[in-house]
Structure 1
Amino acid sequence: MNSDVKYFVALFVRRLPVFLIVFLGFAAAALSAAMLLPTVYSSGAKLLIESAQIPGNLATSTVQVAASEQLQIIQQRILTRAILIDVARAHDVYEHMDDMSPDEIVARMRNDTNIRGTSGRNAATIMNIQFQARSAAISANVVNDYVTRILDQNVRLRTGQAQDTLEFFKQEVDRLGAELDRRSAAILDFQNANADALPTGLPFRMSRQSTLQAQVDQFLRDKAALIEQRNRLIEIFETTGQLNTTTTANQSPEERQLVSLKDQLAAALAIYSEENPRVKVLQARIAQLEETVRAQSGVGAAANGTTMLDVQLAQIDARVDAIDAQIEQAEGELAVLQDAIGRTPANDIALQALQREHNNIQEQYNSAVQRLSAAATGERIELLSKGQRITVIEQAVAPTEPTSPNRPMIAIGGTAAGLAAGLGLVFLIELLNKSVRRPADIAKGLNITPLATIPFNRTGGELVRRRVIVLVILAVFLAGVPAALYAIHTYYLPLDLIMSRAVARLSL
């Protein structure tokens, strides 16, 4: 057992230069990185998304965006390429920015920026913003710049949506108002063009039609009676050669009126005295009519029977012509009424269609006016910041201590990695080495037992040369690795930028 331990110790001592090269290389690189990596400061701010200041049952904002959705919108707008480049150049965030491409600046800004929100049911929505920079002032300034842009973006987003909504409903009200005026004008034009056949006047036209039809029927009966009277007069004259004027049917109107007045006078004398005014009036009218009748009788006596017949026939014909004129006038009006009544159903349907379209536009217009009022209220709410808003509850301040790098951890980790890598390399070399290094290997490999073994011993000069070479290599590693890292960091690219590029490529 002791011989095996001594054997492995001897092997390790033999491979000690290899172990030292690897171990010291890792340690030097880790220590150099720990010393050369720039100091990183992290600053943060906390924002709160508050609910609307005015109860929704009294007045509501026209901007209805959920808090989580609002966080996502703002985050995407803040992390746009233009804003990130503008912020980086405004605050000179990175050293040697002139050597960085815009894509690299955007990638590093997004990598160094951390925006996250927390929300939940019955819980407030909070946005945390953090940024890592090479100095405390830059970190705080960038976060405050982000906060200012977020507040500005939120105000512009909400007021812009409210104003767009208000402008939309203004245009909608104007459009529907113009359409409503056009529909009203169309209804008015239709009513003016069909004023004689509108549904509202149908009852009057039907009543007038019935009245005129009754008048026409009466006119026809009167005309038939006159024609019958005329034919009878002609028949009597042709049979007897004279006219019987004593009959009531052949009396003139004055004679019939005279008979009627005499009857009235007889009835009045049975009740009143001869001094009564009514009786005197009747007597005066009777005396006047008697003079008229005597005059007519004298003319009739002077004339022959034919002349009397012609007079009566002329009177009947004049009355028939008057009745014909009245019938013609009534039938003309009936024709106009019939045409209007016939056109009324079609006009009613057309007018109902126009009115229905007008009512639909009116309902849309009323709804648009109500929504316009709500949009105006919503815009006022947003302009006064009485709706959902973002407030700063914790302003970003310059940190007093850096957050990274953890230099002791980097140094210890690099040293531990070098130790593990050195031991692993030594183990791997010995594992792959199949040469004979002790008597047990001869017995195991050849299956024989040697009588004696002669070891290989180096001369003193060989040992010195070997040790010098190992020391030179170790010195090169100890001095060269830090020097190379420093040169790369100073004259080529900073180590943090190289690391960020490497991480970006590995992520791809």
Structure 2
Amino acid sequence: MSQEFSLNQEEASPINFERILSAAKRRFLFFLIPFILVLAGSVALAMLLPAKYSSWGTVLVETQQISPDLVESTITTDPDQRIRMIQQRVMTRENLLKVIDKYNVYGEDRKVLTVSDLVGKMQDEIGIEVITSSFSGNRREETTIAFTVGFNHQNPQIATDVANELVTLFLSENVRTRTERATEATAFLAEEANKVRRQLAQVENELVVYKQKYGNALPEHLGLRQDMLDRSETEIRDLRRDLRTLEEEKRYLEIELTSARSGLTASTGGQSELARNLSSLKDQLLEASTRLTDNHPTIIALKKRISALEQQVEEETRQAMASAAQGSSAGNAYNPVVERLQIRIAGTDDRIQAIRNQIAATSKKVAELEAIIIEIPQVERGLAGLNRTYEDLLNKLNDLESRQAQAQLSQNLEEGKKAERFVLLEPPIVPTDPYSPNRKKILGVGAMFGIALGIACVFLIELLDRRIHSASELEAVLKHPPIVSIPYIQTKMETSRQRMKIILYLLSVVVLFAVLLVLVHFFYRPLDEIFYQLWVSFDRLLLQF
């Protein structure tokens, strides 16, 4: 009990570096053996793991060479989005199987693994990284300026060949995709323009048929029809005035004929004078009616005078006819005056009939013109609808033709590789150093783990060992210093054994180092290249100082 208590008290004491050093000397093998085993395992792991090489190519996203203000591209997708889309198209099962068979990527595994496993394995080995840049410092406004395509494989040449093939697929797929989209846009606009042209031709035919059907009632002829109507109405008024004049003239001629037959030639002059006055008053009334209303005093006075003269003319006519009836019994001798009057009356009748026919024809024409003028607003509405449809289609056609021309320019831009494009900035090269496994890291971690394991073994052995190895430990247990301390005296044999152990330790270290050098030379990298690289690095370091 006292011994355990003493040991617990000793453990609670401050750190004793002398005891730690003594334990390190005493337990050196317990430290060295785990360290060497772990280090050897790390070296074996680093040497046995298959080396993997990675070959990468850099593709620059080059902006449009011609200013977008002059020619605007129809493809406005973001470069990052387009890269992801092309990635899905390139990394299809069909494309990857073609690459696997072309470069014999997996050798004999091609016959063993399933197609899904091969495609999945290759997709895992393909790497695509996007390089972005932000001109304003805002991450949301980052622009894709380039991207890298790589492939990992145990054979550096296969890794390079496959990476070159993938880069080629990306470049060709980008050109094909952009050209197809530009061509599809041009074809679509051309098809739409043809549809609108057919609709426009149909509307034009409808306009032609409509105008032929309502040719007399077109809105542009409204002014002409109104002028024709005005002229016709004026013509009717003139004809009616001429008709009244002829009718008056016929009446007077009949009076003169009656007078001539009765032999009253002496009174003919007075009657003719009365008729001329009546005709003059009627002309004045007709002329005044065009300027004045019916209630005007002048119109009223002229009508009264005409009515009085007409009564006088009728009275004289009755008297003349009565005289003619009395003198008819006297004899029917030839009278040239009567014959001339009869001829004039017949001519007047013909003229009256002609004027009446003209009045009837002109009245019919006026009725037709009025019907046409009434119909014009309806025709105008129908024509306006057709014209509006025609204008809309024409504007749509002009817009489509403008867009089609723009799309054709964009297509020419894509075909001429003047638009935004992918340019191979740095082709994949054959890698000289594997990226996996990281042998330095494995060795470093193994060495650190070996040191930690060795220290842990020494600490564990010291905790399990209850023996006293020094005077200080004895003093700590007894709480009293020892009377005398007799040092351990080694014999010659023990001394030689100790020397042999040291020599063996040194030889083991030398052999282990030599084995490490051989493994590095044959499995990692030739020693002459490593020494040359170290010499170059050292020389550069000296130049810096």
Q: What TM-score, normalized by structure 2, do the two folds share? A: 0.59
Offset at 1:116?
Answer: 0.9
Q: CA deviation at 1:133?
A: 0.4
Q: Does the CA contact (< 8 Å) of 1:244 and 1:250 recur in 2?
A: no
- Which of 165, 178, 185 is matched with 1:158 structurally? 178
Q: Distance in 1 between matches of 2:70 and 2:58?
A: 31
Residue 324 of structure 1 pairs with residue 356 of structure 2: yes
Q: What SS is found at the alignment partner of 1:119?
A: strand
The one-letter code sitting in structure 1 at the alignment partner of 2:415 is L
| Contact 2:130–2:144 (CA under 8 A) maintained in structure 1 | no
Query: Partners of 2:111 and 2:387 in 1: how far apart?
Result: 73
CA contact (8 A) 2:196 2:397 kept: yes
Q: Could you say if the C-alpha distance between residues 25 and 330 of structure 1 is closer, same or farther in structure 2, counting changes exceeding 3 Å?
A: farther
Q: What is the aligned partner in structure 2 of residue 112 from structure 1?
A: 125
Question: What is the TM-score normalised by the length of structure 1?
Answer: 0.63
Residues 431-450 of structure 1 aligned to structure 2 (within 5 Å) = none
The aligned counterpart of 1:180 is 200
Q: Which residue of 1 aligns with 2:79?
A: 67
Residue by residue over 1:205-260, the C-alpha shift from the partner in whole angstroms, topping out at 9 and shown as x without a partner, is: 11111111111122222323333444556577779963866449769xxxxxxxxx
Which residue pairs with 2:292 in the alignment? none
Q: CA deviation at 1:338?
A: 1.3
Q: Residue deviations 1:92-133, cap 9 Å, x none?
A: 222413222223223222221111111223477011122110
Matched, 1:213 2:225: no
Do the aligned partners of 1:163 and 1:379 also contact (CA within 8 Å) in 2? yes
Do the aligned residues in 1 keep the contact of 2:57 with 2:427 (CA within 8 Å)?
A: yes
Q: CA deviation at 1:395?
A: 0.9
> How many corresponding residue pairs?
380
Q: For residue 262 of structure 2, give the secondary structure of its aligned residue in structure 1.
A: coil
Residues 359-438 of structure 1: pairs in structure 2 closer than 5 A: 359-407=391-439, 409-410=441-442, 413=445
Distance 2:428 2:236 in 1: 103
RMSD of aligned alpha carbons = 4.3
- For the 8 Å contact 2:260–2:337, the answer to whether it is kept is no
CA deviation string 1:435-471 (max 9, x = no partner): xx9xxxxxxxxxxxxxxxxxxxxxxxxxxxxxxxxxx
Could you report, residue by residue, the CA deviation over 1:123-169 in whole angstroms, capped at 9, with x for unpaired residues? 77011122110110011011100110011011101111111111122
Contact persistence 1:233–1:243 (CA under 8 A): no
1:50-74: CA deviation from partner (whole Å, max 9, x where unpaired): 1111122332333223322222222
Counterpart of 2:372 (choices 340, 344, 353) is 340
Contact 2:132–2:146 (CA under 8 A) maintained in structure 1: yes
Contact 1:381–1:387, Cα closer than 8 Å, also in 2: yes
Gaps of 5+ in 1: 252-299, 429-436, 438-508
Task: Within 5 Å, give how 1:198-347 maps onto structure 2.
Answer: 198-231=218-251, 242=262, 246-247=268-269, 302-303=334-335, 311=343, 313-347=345-379
Q: Where in structure 2 are the equivalents of 1:136-147 lying within 5 Å?
A: 136-147=156-167
- Deviation of 1:337 after TM superposition, in Å, equals 1.1
> Is the contact made by 2:46 and 2:439 (CA closer than 8 Å) also made in structure 1?
yes
Q: Is the 8 A contact 2:257 2:342 kept in 1?
A: no
Name the CA shift for 1:56/1:408 in 2 (closer, same or farther; >3 Å): closer
Counterparts of 1:31 and 1:217, CA distance in 2: 130
User: Tell me, which stretches of 5 or more residues in structure 2 are unaligned?
Assistant: 1-5, 12-18, 136-142, 274-331, 461-465, 467-545
Map Cα deviations across residues 11-56 of structure 1 (whole Å, 9 max, x no partner). xx9xx9xxx9x99999998666544432201111111011111122
Q: Distance in 2 between matches of 1:333 and 1:206?
A: 12
> Matches of 1:164 and 1:83 in 2, distance apart?
24
State the identity as a percent: 26
- Mapped to 2, the partners of 1:214 and 1:243 lie a distance apart of 43
- Structure 1 counterpart of 2:416, one-letter code: L
**Structure 1 position 358, deviation (Å):** 1.1
Q: How does 1:27-38 map to 2 (within 5 A)?
A: 33-38=45-50
Instruction: Assess, with a 3 A threshold, how the Cα gap between structure 1 residues 26 and 82 changes in structure 2: closer, same or farther.
Output: farther
Q: SS at 2:132's partner residue?
A: strand
Question: Which residue, 49, 54, 74 being the options, matches 2:66?
Answer: 54
Q: State the partner residue of 2:95.
A: 83
Separation in structure 2 between the aligned mates of residue 71 and residue 136 of structure 1, nearest angstrom? 26
Q: Relative to structure 2, which stretch is displaced further, 142-151 or 168-177?
A: 168-177
* 1:453-506 C-alpha deviation (Å, 9 max, x unpaired): xxxxxxxxxxxxxxxxxxxxxxxxxxxxxxxxxxxxxxxxxxxxxxxxxxxxxx
Output the CA distance in 2 between the equivalents of 1:313 and 1:320. 10
- Mapped to 2, the partners of 1:168 and 1:101 lie a distance apart of 43
